[in-house]
Amino acid sequence: MTLNALSPDSKFLQLLREFDRNLFLELKKSGCPHCGGQLDTANYWRKTRGMGVELELCFSLCCRNEGCRRRSKPRSVRFFGQKVYGAWVLIMAVEYCRELGLGGQIARQTIARWRMFWKNHLSESGPFVVWARGLLPIGATITESPGSMFCHFGYPARDSWLLILKFFAQAL
């Protein structure tokens, strides 16, 4: 698999956009998590590495109540918070950088930083691992890299990517 197989024109990224849009619509219907007020659309454009050359629309909402006006962002299968790279790159590149065609595109220091990120999030007593153990089969092995859980989602089948991203988006 190469980076070109996951270009912005591909069905894969279209599917991720659609899934994110559904999460956005659910949050908009539920109202402001802080005061219960109505939420207005406050989307913005974002250039995320690993998502192609085009800008990606990041779904966001803002409370309409004058005393609140807080921003609410739905979970995303495309973005991990403020990270510069897309979620699928952050999850996959730690173990499959060369296979994804990202060998010379991501600095070794960045990969090392991501390994530390996953090591911290996947520590045995961490909240993510406790949560994941409740969803994964009994006896599932969770190591210090996200790839240790891929087999539980049917990886390497192409359809498994969305399941993997949904799983990580729920907790991170």
pLDDT at position 68 is: 94
Number of domains into which the chain is organized: 1
pLDDT band at 1 (very low <50, low <70, confident <90, very high): very low
The yes-or-no verdict on residue 111 having pLDDT over 60 is: yes
73 phi and psi angles, rounded to 5 deg = -115, 130
Q: How far is CA 79 from CA 111, 129, 162, in A?
A: 17, 20, 13
pLDDT recorded at residue 7? 44
What are the tens digits of pLDDT across the range 16-59?
Answer: 889 999 999 999 999 999 999 999 999 999 988 877 767 889 99
Higher pLDDT, 147 or 6: 147
In this predicted structure, the answer to whether residue 4 has a pLDDT above a threshold of 50 is no
Whether residue 5 is predicted with pLDDT greater than 80 in this model: the reply is no
Cα distances (angstroms) measured from residue 98 to each of 1, 39, 127, 129: 10, 42, 30, 27
Confidence at residue 67, expressed as pLDDT on a 0 to 100 scale: 92
Higher pLDDT, 164 or 10: 164
Q: Which domain holds residue 120?
A: 3-171
Per residue in 50-109, pLDDT (tens digit) is 777 678 899 999 999 999 999 999 989 888 877 878 887 788 877 777 766 666 778 888
In this predicted structure, the answer to whether residue 135 has a pLDDT above a threshold of 60 is yes
pTM above 0.85, yes or no: no
Q: What is the model's pLDDT at position 101?
A: 67
Measured between alpha carbons, how far is 119 from 114 in angstroms, rounded to an integer? 8
